[in-house]
Structure 1
Amino acid sequence: MHIISSAVSLNVDDVTASSNFFTAHLGFHETVTARGFVTLARPDSADIVLVTRGSRQLPGRIREQRPAGVMVSFTITDVAAEHERLRREGAPVATPLREEPWGERLFQLTDPNGIVAQFVEWVPPAGT
């Protein structure tokens, strides 16, 4: 197998609201749009596909499900600067910037459909 790209597909109630969130705050752009779905991309990330919950293009067993416990995580550089930029923009910060003892500096946003976007920068663990 040779994977040439990857994407995460999320069922949401309001495709436009999530698309606006990812394009306005996180630099994604719409590459495919049609009734009930949109594909978002940026050159340094997997694509994000947003599909309207209940859409017939979804398999029957998941057609009506909402994302629960789903977190889209991005490893980035200078997480503190991104946290500050997004906070200034009024992005919905769910978890403010913090550093974990194992060396993970992170913060989280929540989009209008409840999707958590986590931003991580790895740093030397405390005490090392």
Structure 2
Amino acid sequence: MRVKQYYPVIQSKEVATTAEFYKRHFGFRAAFEADWYVHLQSEADPSVNLAVVQSEHETIPEGSRGATKGMILNFEVEDVDAIDQKLRGEGVPVAKALVSEPFGQRHAIYRDPNGVLIDVITPIPPSEEFLAQYAPDAVPV
């Protein structure tokens, strides 16, 4: 299978509110916008996409309708410290404060209006313990 594009879709009771959150805080724009579905595209990189669908919409199988749970969105950025300062200043709820992890990430985790976790990450060199667990071509620098 050759995947032409991949993007997560968040189920939400508040489609417009959720879309506005990602536009305001994470630099997305609406590429398609209806009252039940919004396809968002990064203004900085059109290959980065995210969508929001009304959680009770008929296109979702009946047994799977409802708020999104158990998902974390990862946004890898150049300077997580600057993004953290910006997001905190804008009042975005913090789920996990900024921290450097030995496995090779400096990151903080935030919550969107649906409770979906958003992990904003800057890769950093991993500790020796974790370095051995990386494939040679995947070591963060």
Report the TM-score when normalising by structure 1. 0.89
- Deviation digits for residues 98-126 of structure 1, max 9, x if unmatched? 11122211101101111111111111124
- Deviation digits for residues 57-113 of structure 1, max 9, x if unmatched? 112231x23211111111111111111111122222221111112221110110111
The residue that corresponds to 2:87 in the other structure is 86
The residue that corresponds to 2:137 in the other structure is none
The residue that corresponds to 1:122 in the other structure is 123
Check the 8 A contact 2:73/2:118 in 1, yes or no.
Answer: yes
Determine helix, strand or coil for the equivalent of 2:99. Answer: strand
Letter in 1 for 2:80: V
Check the 8 A contact 1:99/1:106 in 2, yes or no.
Answer: yes
C-alpha distance in structure 2 between counterparts of 1:45 and 1:120, whole Å: 18
The residue that corresponds to 1:73 in the other structure is 74
C-alpha distance in structure 2 between counterparts of 1:88 and 1:45, whole Å: 28
Determine helix, strand or coil for the equivalent of 1:98. Answer: strand
The residue that corresponds to 2:99 in the other structure is 98
Structure with the greater alpha carbon radius of gyration: 2
Check the 8 A contact 2:16/2:35 in 1, yes or no.
Answer: no
Letter in 2 for 1:34: A
Determine helix, strand or coil for the equivalent of 1:61. Answer: helix
- Percent identical: 28
How many residue pairs are counted as aligned between the two chains? 127
Structure 1 unaligned spans of 5+: none
Q: Which has the higher contact order (CA 8 A, sep 6+)?
A: 1
C-alpha distance in structure 2 between counterparts of 1:44 and 1:77, whole Å: 17
Check the 8 A contact 1:5/1:46 in 2, yes or no.
Answer: no
CA 1:119–1:44: 2 relative to 1, 3 Å: farther
Determine helix, strand or coil for the equivalent of 1:16. Answer: helix
Report the TM-score when normalising by structure 2. 0.81
User: Superposition RMSD on alpha carbons, in Å?
Assistant: 1.7
Letter in 2 for 1:101: P
